[in-house]
Amino acid sequence: MNKLDKPLESWREELSEEQFHVCRLGGTERAFSGEYHDSKVPGIYHCACCQTELFDSDAKFDSGSGWPSYFQPVSNEAITSLDDFNHGMHRIEVKCAKCEAHLGHVFPDGPAPTGLRYCINSASLKLVAKTDG
């Protein structure tokens, strides 16, 4: 069970097929295919599963990787990180701290001020655009 005590089948019913594959099964969308990989819309990116605030567009940058990339989350409490040894390599997986949705990975090759690149699947995000006024 995840932190929201919701069975996997409930997630399957609530999410799109791609969201379920990425968020609940730890999959990855194809590079340059996600809705937000090149988005410049100002706002807050929320978890697609539980609507927790995860990333601010002010921390978004074009990494050239084909996935939305951020140099920091909205807070250290918004995400959790764990070792991932899949695919014959060591990476750091990033999950939503509230519902444990798989978001993507973090790498130490990002810009200042953190030097980090949170490489996140668009399918795991929902942008809430900032409104004027």
User: What is the set of active-site residues?
Assistant: 119
Q: Is 47 annotated as a binding residue?
A: yes
Looking at the chain, the number of H-run helices and the number of E-run strands are 2, 9
Q: Is 50 annotated as a binding residue?
A: yes
Q: State how far the alpha carbon of 72 is from the alpha carbons of 9, 21, 35, 119, in Å.
A: 32, 24, 20, 10
Q: How far apart are CA 25 and CA 103, in angstroms?
A: 11
Q: Is 23 annotated as a binding residue?
A: no
Q: Is 96 annotated as a binding residue?
A: yes
Q: Binding-site residues, please?
A: 47, 50, 96, 99
Q: Binding-site residues for Zn(2+), please?
A: 47, 50, 96, 99
